[in-house]
Amino acid sequence: MILDIISAVLILLGGVLSLAAAVGMLRFADLLSRMHASAKPQVLGLIAVALAIALQYPNWATVTTLAIIISFQLVTIPVATHMVGRAGYRTKHLRRSMLYRDELAEAVDRAEAREVAWERRKGIGTDHNDG
Amino acid sequence: MSQIVLDTLVFVASVLLAASAIIALYRIVRGPSILDRMIATDVVLASIMCGLGGFMALSGRTDLLPVLVVLAMLGFVGSVSVSRYVSKSDSMTPGAEVGSLSDFSSLDWHMPTESTGDGEGQDDAKTRPVEESENEEPWPDDVARGIYDSPDGPDAITVQPDEEPVTVGLDQGADPDAGAAGEGLGTGPDPGPDDSDDGARTPTETDDEDSAREADDAARESDDEGGGRR
């Protein structure tokens, strides 16, 4: 019976994390802030619920399947979040006033300067070949 | 007693999950962009996964575990495909030209660094054979698509409105060399390397042109630039 209550508390923890993500989704003003909020139930809530299942049915088949699910989620969620953030940065779905520091802008500036220098040197090379 | 506590906990958890799903659905409806909708869809999927896991823990339906795997994979594939779609479509926006930074091609990964100035020809021939073949036969296809700034290309069609004030500014400098260079722009059948300097100006070089015009000795500055490039 105590295991049932522990499982119920873990499920409640998953529900609380999910509600926190939903409230952040509703209240936050930015794409990056919403991404920050939405990552909680995808990892922590799922781990809590998987612990609840594993406490209720501790046999090998269930536990290994839960481990597969959790490891898959831990691998894929950063990739998906990174791609969403990159798409949001490139399409400028972010508020500059909410950023303390934009380190990617410096990298973009450096890449742009390198591209300019490369184009200029390419122009020199073709002219030299023509003359 | 403990049964009442258990029922209360399960009821509260189900209410929280339902509320989170409804709030995330509101964000899906109201989301300003498709990325916000995608993140809200992920939150709805996470709520569904938590609810399904709780249902499995309470009722013993552990045969539903592959459904959790499918839901996790659905969220990943959905996020990646939508963000790829958005990244693809941002090069279609009117501000982004072909040569701008947001337009990545496979040639950009072979861009030589600054330190390899010595073996320049070898590096170019080795790493970028497509560019070399474009240098030999630049047009008409690449020029028409705008991906190559050709010295022999149709300057009179595309670049002529841009270079018109440039030649006027050079003539105002009363420099005979600059006037001759401006005269040789569109007249001869073989324009030569002069057009590659003046005619095929990329947007990055127009910035240099503006800064050179802002300097006090504009004509000599542009002459030095042209001589350096030739």
Q: What is the pLDDT of residues B130-144, one digit of tens each?
A: 444 445 554 455 555
pLDDT of residue B175: 46
Ordered DSSP codes for B3-30 = HHHHHHHHHHHHHHHHHHHHHHHHHHHH
Q: Tens digit of pLDDT per residue, chain A (131 long)? A: 888 999 999 999 999 999 999 999 999 888 888 999 998 889 999 999 999 999 999 999 999 999 999 999 999 999 999 999 988 888 887 788 888 888 888 888 888 898 888 888 877 655 555 54
- Please say whether the beta carbons of B175 and B223 come within 8 A: yes
Percent of chain B with pLDDT over 90: 30
- Please say whether the beta carbons of B27 and A24 come within 8 A: no
Token pair, residue A64, equals 């290994």
pLDDT of residue B146: 52
For residue B97, how many C-alpha atoms fall within 13 Å in the half-sphere facing its CB?
8
Please give the model's pTM, rounded to 2 decimal places. Answer: 0.58
Sign of CA dihedral B10, B16, B20, B21: positive
CB contact under 8 A, B124 and A72: no
pLDDT of residue A98: 80
pLDDT of residue B1: 81
Residue B46: what residue type?
A
Token pair, residue A48, equals 């809590």
Chain A residues closer than 8 Å to B35 by CB: 31, 84, 87-88, 91, 93
Confirm or reject contact between B50 and chain A (CB < 8 A). yes
Confirm or reject contact between A117 and chain B (CB < 8 A). yes
Confirm or reject contact between A56 and chain B (CB < 8 A). yes
Taking Cα atoms as reference points, which of A56, A27, A61, A94 lies closest to residue B6? A56
CB contact under 8 A, B35 and A87: yes
pLDDT of residue A120: 86
Taking Cα atoms as reference points, which of B228, B155, B135 lies closest to residue B198? B155
Question: How many residues comprise chain A?
Answer: 131
Give the distance from residue A64's alpha carbon to the nearest chain B alpha carbon, in angstroms. Answer: 11
Tell me how many residue pairs between chain A and chain B have CB atoms under 8 A apart: 239
Question: Count of CB atoms within 10 A of residue A128's CB?
Answer: 12
Q: What is the pLDDT of residues B138-180, one digit of tens each?
A: 445 555 555 555 555 444 444 444 444 444 444 444 444 444 4
pLDDT of residue A102: 83
pLDDT of residue B123: 46
Confirm or reject contact between A62 and chain B (CB < 8 A). yes
Question: Count of CB atoms within 10 A of residue B20's CB?
Answer: 30
Q: Tens digit of pLDDT per residue, chain B (230 long)? A: 889 999 999 999 999 999 999 999 999 998 888 899 999 999 999 999 999 999 999 998 889 999 999 999 999 999 999 998 888 654 444 444 444 454 455 555 555 555 544 444 444 444 444 444 445 554 455 555 555 555 554 444 444 444 444 444 444 444 444 444 444 444 445 444 444 444 444 444 444 444 444 444 444 444 444 444 44
